[in-house]
Structure 1
């Protein structure tokens, strides 16, 4: 997925000299191709993420299309005020890319783990929120972000979970769910985003459940959520993010008002990580490993 991000960024920059990449002193090989092919469109803003967002706002005002890259714990979390006031308030077309969302930087502790970024960005007016699950969704999200006339936050979680789509997906509509699997209508359905879509697919195949991916979290299309609720006996949401303010919250906000149904929210509970460790360890600690998620879904299916 990160390769798809890099490829899309290079392609956009070659086609449009106004596309700029701003990074906070990240020397990743991820940007080697961009630096090689578009050296005049690359800005290393240093370890000064708040200044970097302000710089991007100024560049957008004079006609550039900045892509601002950082770790999700810093872009958007550290820079939330600048995103709100410098960019979103004035409808500037800046794309903010938060890499390593969720527990990807597990060994670095709470300061580098980001399980609140969807909640924070969803609440900012005029800011679109994207959360791709695989390389195909990443390519579609990058195209959508570039075409947007407003600020966009693109969340990049665990990038090597494997594909959930067999081929390129159509252009993403605003807030639309993308169906990945069609299961039995007399059972609950799964709505997942980011890294948890792969988990949802693997579990759903065993239980013959429908799965929808949610690559666009804001604006979130109520018609698609209501249709998923009508097509199933209940919904399960899965996200590597807090259960407060994220995908599960968005789904329950819609269903409670427009299409009442039972919803099980699977995500990070209202607490910090207790220990540091590997990515797989952190998933186990928070009950988001495959076996723990499968047990909760099994119990939910059995309750109908």
Structure 2
């Protein structure tokens, strides 16, 4: 996903002279082509993320369209006050991109895990909070964010994530899509972890279980029309996120359901438990330990279907 981000930023920089890229001392070689196109609109702000956020807010309020890029915890929780006061309060149209979200940097420990970012940032008024499932969704959301008057946060993976969306999907801010249709269970989630859900659904199909997989694209705003259509079809939902179980996709869906006049929905939340992870391994190992890999999801999906009778 990060390569797709760099490529799209390079293309966009050639089209518009207000686009500015700020990096928190990361991805310098990755942005070599961007710097050839717009050398005067690239700023390596170093390991000073709070200052970088304030700089971006000032740029946005001066007519530029700044995009911030660095590792997720460092561009979110490290500079939360600057996001809240400098960006969200002033509705400065800054695009904040957090790379290596979720457990992408699992082996580096809790300092590099981003399992609270969506929960925290979705409480800030007027801030879009997006989590594309693949590079196709990322590119669409980036373009939409740069043409939106609100600030936007986009959490992305690291590299090597599979393409999950089909060409022609309706993508952007607040746009949800079915990645796979089904009838027994609806899995509603965000981010590249949905690739594991698709594998699990394919495995379960051999045994006659039918699981639908939906990408919400983010947690704020939610696609009200899409969710209403799913509520008419599925009474059995499971939320999935590579994020803490508190405050993310599952919590956003529970809040949405509480305000809707729809049929009763049974919703089980699935994500990272409400603990710091001290046992270290790579992303695949950590997903397996948490039951968030395809094999673990097969067991959870089957249990959820069988529990409804």
Superposition TM-score, scaled by structure 2 size: 0.93
- Determine the structure 2 residue equivalent to 1:249: 251
Contact preservation (8 Å) 2:49, 2:79? yes
Which residues in structure 2 correspond to 1:138-153 (within 5 Å)?
Answer: 138-153=138-153
What is the CA–CA distance in structure 2 between the aligned matches of 1:296 and 1:170, rounded to whole Å?
29
2:232 matches 1:235: no
What is the CA–CA distance in structure 1 between the aligned matches of 2:200 and 2:282, rounded to whole Å?
23
Which of 184, 196, 199 is equivalent to 1:199? 196
Contact preservation (8 Å) 1:225, 1:255? no
1:252 positional shift: 1.4
What is the CA–CA distance in structure 1 between the aligned matches of 2:271 and 2:158, rounded to whole Å?
15
Contact preservation (8 Å) 1:276, 1:282? yes
**Secondary structure class of the residue paired with 1:139:** helix
1:51 positional shift: 0.3
Which residues in structure 2 correspond to 1:84-123 (within 5 Å)?
Answer: 84-123=84-123
| Closer, same or farther: CA 88–115 of 1 in aligned 2, 3 Å | same
Contact preservation (8 Å) 1:201, 1:211? yes
1:145 positional shift: 1.0
**Secondary structure class of the residue paired with 1:136:** helix
Q: How many residues align?
A: 301
Which digits, 9 at most, give the CA deviation of each residue in 1:57-108, with x for residues without a partner?
A: 1111111110011111111111111000001101111000000111111221
- Determine the structure 2 residue equivalent to 1:26: 26
Bigger CA drift: 8-17 or 218-227? 218-227
| Closer, same or farther: CA 90–62 of 1 in aligned 2, 3 Å | same
What is the CA–CA distance in structure 2 between the aligned matches of 1:155 and 1:134, rounded to whole Å?
11
**Secondary structure class of the residue paired with 1:111:** coil
1:27 positional shift: 4.0
1:209 positional shift: 1.7
- Determine the structure 2 residue equivalent to 1:272: 276
What is the CA–CA distance in structure 2 between the aligned matches of 1:30 and 1:67, rounded to whole Å?
15
2:165 matches 1:161: no
2:133 matches 1:133: yes
Contact preservation (8 Å) 2:20, 2:67? yes
- Determine the structure 1 residue equivalent to 2:300: 296
1:302 positional shift: 0.9
Which residues in structure 2 correspond to 1:164-203 (within 5 Å)?
Answer: 164-172=164-172, 174-184=173-183, 187-203=184-200
Bigger CA drift: 151-160 or 220-229? 220-229
**Secondary structure class of the residue paired with 1:90:** coil
- Determine the structure 2 residue equivalent to 1:263: 267
Which digits, 9 at most, give the CA deviation of each residue in 1:26-48, with x for residues without a partner?
A: 14432121122221110011110
What is the CA–CA distance in structure 2 between the aligned matches of 1:9 and 1:163, rounded to whole Å?
19
1:3 positional shift: 2.2
Contact preservation (8 Å) 2:130, 2:152? yes
Unaligned runs of 5+ in 1: none
| Closer, same or farther: CA 150–261 of 1 in aligned 2, 3 Å | same
1:123 positional shift: 0.5
- Determine the structure 1 residue equivalent to 2:59: 59
What is the CA–CA distance in structure 2 between the aligned matches of 1:55 and 1:72, rounded to whole Å?
18
Contact preservation (8 Å) 2:188, 2:213? yes
Contact preservation (8 Å) 1:226, 1:254? no
